[in-house]
Structure 1
Amino acid sequence: MRHWHPRHTLYTYRNLKKTGRINLSPPIVLALGFTVLSLVGMGLLLLPFSTHEGISPLAALFSAVSAVTITGLTTVDIGTTYTPIGQAILITLVQIGGLGFITLSV
């Protein structure tokens, strides 16, 4: 496992210039993946076809993060707030997040 050192950022930048690749540790890749997936899920849940009446960005972010991390908590009623498309987006986030946890444990 890598250890942090003060010149790590400079090393990463030089390595990127030289090889065109960034070497990231697996935990960082997993955290970045969950973050990007949560933000994409929030964006999809904010679209008009995902909800009946619209929700706040914070509620959409909370629902997306909860789905990706397989927590199961929501601030809104899923059955009445989200359309079938919004519910499909949530279940897809749950499936992808579960796959990430299984991959992490193996």
Structure 2
Amino acid sequence: MNFSPVVLTGAGTSGIFVLIAYIAVFAVLMYFLSVRPQKKRQKTIDAMIANLAVGDSILTTSGFYGVVIDIAEDVVIVEFGSDRHCRIPMQKEAIVSVEKANDEE
């Protein structure tokens, strides 16, 4: 067996540049397909929570619908059910969607 070292020629170095170009294109593609949409979604969620008001109907991450009755720094108190006796404090991050109250018209 011959274990002589491999000599790099000019063709080998251009192959490295092609490989680096593929990696760069893949990184840009991953940014536009995964990172950018996630940042855009997070920005809309932050805006939705910032505009949250008392009386708004919300949907939580666990699938419960409720009405906001009080808002604190990081916590909202939500009223669940039709009997109006189930009031639960929860984190603002647990809110998935907000439907504004109709009395703002």
- Normalised by the length of structure 2, the TM-score is 0.31
Which one has more relative contact order, counting CA pairs under 8 Å at least 6 apart? 1
Larger proportion of strand: 2
Give 1 or 2 for the bigger CA radius of gyration: 2
